[in-house]
Structure 1
Amino acid sequence: MIVDSDRDVAETNENNNRNTGEFLDYDAVQINDTQPVVNAWSWSNRFDDFTQQISDRWDQGYELTSVERGDGRWFGVFGEDERPNAWSSSGNFDNFTQQISNRWDTGHNLIDVEYGDGRWFGIFGPSKGRNGWSSSGNFDTFKQQISDRWDQGYELVDVGYGDGRWFGVFADDERPNAWSSSGSFEQFEQQISDRWDEGFDLIDVEYGDGRWFGVFGPDNGRNAYSSSGNFDTFTQQISDRWDEGFEMVDVGYGDGRWFGVFQDD
Structure 2
Amino acid sequence: MRLIFSTLFCLFTLCLSAQNQWSAVMTQGTAAQSYDYFYSLESASTYISDQLKKGYVPTEIVYGDGKWYVVTTYTAVETTVSWKWGPDFPSDWIKGEWDNKKYITKVTYGNGAWFVIMATDKNVKTQSWGTRDTWDGMKKYIDDTWKENSRYNITDLAYGNGIWAVILTVMETYEHQKFKASESFPSSWIQEQYDDKYNITSIEHDGKQWIVVMTKQATSKGETAFLPETSFPTSKIKEQWDKGRRINSFIYYKKEENNEEQFKKYLKDGSDHLNGKYYNLAIADFKKALELYPSNASALNNLAWAQYQAGYCNDAMESIDKALALEKTRYNNHTKASILMCKNRCDEAVRYYDEAIRLYKQELGAIKESLYFVDRAKAKKCKGDYSGAKDDLQEAIKLEPNNVSFKNELIEVYELMNKKSL
Aligned mate of 1:147, from 125, 143, 146? 143
Is the contact made by 1:64 and 1:78 (CA closer than 8 Å) also made in structure 2?
Answer: yes
**1:98: how far off?**
1.1
Q: CA deviation digits over 1:129-183, x for unaligned, max 9?
A: 1111111102111101111222212111110001111110111243111111211
Alignment of 1:26-37 (within 5 A): 36-37=30-31
More helix, by proportion: 2
Partner Cα separation in structure 1 for residue 31 and residue 238 of structure 2: 11
Partner Cα separation in structure 1 for residue 30 and residue 169 of structure 2: 28
Partner Cα separation in structure 2 for residue 142 and residue 35 of structure 1: 31
Q: Give the aligned residue type for 2:160.
A: G
Aligned mate of 2:203, from 202, 205, 229? 205
| Paired residue secondary structure (1:167) | strand
Aligned mate of 1:194, from 185, 192, 195? 192
**1:35: how far off?**
7.0
Partner Cα separation in structure 1 for residue 162 and residue 30 of structure 2: 40
Q: CA deviation digits over 1:215-259, x for unaligned, max 9?
A: 11123421222243212xx12211111100111122211137xxx
2:259 aligns with none
More strand, by proportion: 1
2:354 aligns with none
2:231 is aligned with 1:230: yes
| Paired residue secondary structure (2:215) | strand
1:171 aligns with 169
Q: Give the aligned residue type for 1:165.
A: I
**1:47: how far off?**
1.7
2:87 is aligned with 1:91: yes
Q: How many residues align structurally? A: 217
| Paired residue secondary structure (1:210) | coil
**Identity level (%):** 23
Q: Give the aligned residue type for 2:109.
A: Y
| Paired residue secondary structure (1:196) | helix
Partner Cα separation in structure 2 for residue 165 and residue 175 of structure 1: 27
Partner Cα separation in structure 2 for residue 197 and residue 245 of structure 1: 20
Partner Cα separation in structure 1 for residue 29 and residue 184 of structure 2: 36
Partner Cα separation in structure 2 for residue 211 and residue 35 of structure 1: 29
Aligned mate of 1:134, from 130, 133, 138? 130
2:157 is aligned with 1:156: no
Mean Cα deviation higher: 116-125 or 207-216: 207-216
1:182 aligns with 182
Q: Give the aligned residue type for 1:40.
A: S
Partner Cα separation in structure 2 for residue 197 and residue 149 of structure 1: 28
1:251 aligns with 250
Alignment of 1:7-86 (within 5 A): 36-81=30-75, 82=77, 83-86=79-82
Q: Give the aligned residue type for 2:69.
A: F
Mean Cα deviation higher: 137-146 or 82-91: 82-91
1:100 aligns with 94
Q: Give the aligned residue type for 2:191.
A: S
- Flag the structure with larger Rg: 2
Aligned mate of 1:217, from 197, 215, 218? 215
**1:109: how far off?**
0.4
1:118 aligns with 112
| Paired residue secondary structure (1:129) | strand
Assess, with a 3 A threshold, how the Cα gap between structure 1 residues 161 and 56 changes in structure 2: closer, same or farther. same
**1:209: how far off?**
4.0
Is the contact made by 1:113 and 1:160 (CA closer than 8 Å) also made in structure 2?
Answer: yes
Gaps of 5+ in 2: 1-27, 256-422
Gaps of 5+ in 1: 1-33, 257-265
Superposed CA RMSD in Å reads 1.8
Partner Cα separation in structure 1 for residue 101 and residue 63 of structure 2: 26
Q: Give the aligned residue type for 2:211.
A: F
Assess, with a 3 A threshold, how the Cα gap between structure 1 residues 35 and 165 changes in structure 2: closer, same or farther. closer
2:292 aligns with none
Is the contact made by 1:135 and 1:166 (CA closer than 8 Å) also made in structure 2?
Answer: yes
Structure 1-normalised TM-score? 0.76
Partner Cα separation in structure 1 for residue 164 and residue 29 of structure 2: 36
Is the contact made by 1:66 and 1:123 (CA closer than 8 Å) also made in structure 2?
Answer: no
Partner Cα separation in structure 2 for residue 209 and residue 136 of structure 1: 16
| Paired residue secondary structure (1:75) | strand
Q: Give the aligned residue type for 2:225.
A: Y
2:297 aligns with none
